């Protein structure tokens, strides 16, 4: 399994655990909020690089 696959499985597991332990909306807020905050902490050159890499992988 690739690193991205492991991260995805871990994210789903954490999301389900949060959903079970807390309310649905708190779990959704954490699942959506953490990646959004991580993206916003990147400087503009890192964001451009991330978008460029994402587009290249979509065209595979």
**Residue-wise DSSP of the chain:** --HHHHHHHHHHHHHHHHHHHS-HHHHHHHHHHHHHHHHHTS-HHHHHHHHHHHHHHHT-
Confidence of residue 58 (pLDDT cuts 50, 70, 90): low
The percentage of the chain sitting over the pLDDT mark of 90, rounded to a whole number, equals: 10
Instruction: Report whether pLDDT(56) > 60.
Output: yes
pTM over 0.75: no
- pLDDT digits over 6-33, tens only? 888 888 888 788 778 887 787 778 778 8
């Amino acid at each position: 399994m690739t690193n991205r696959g492991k991260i995805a499985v871990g994210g789903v597991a954490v999301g389900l655990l949060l959903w079970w332990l807390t309310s649905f909306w708190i779990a959704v807020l954490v699942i959506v909020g953490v990646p959004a905050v991580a993206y916003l902490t990147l400087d503009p050159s890192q964001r451009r690089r991330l978008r460029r890499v994402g587009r290249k992988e979509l065209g595979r």
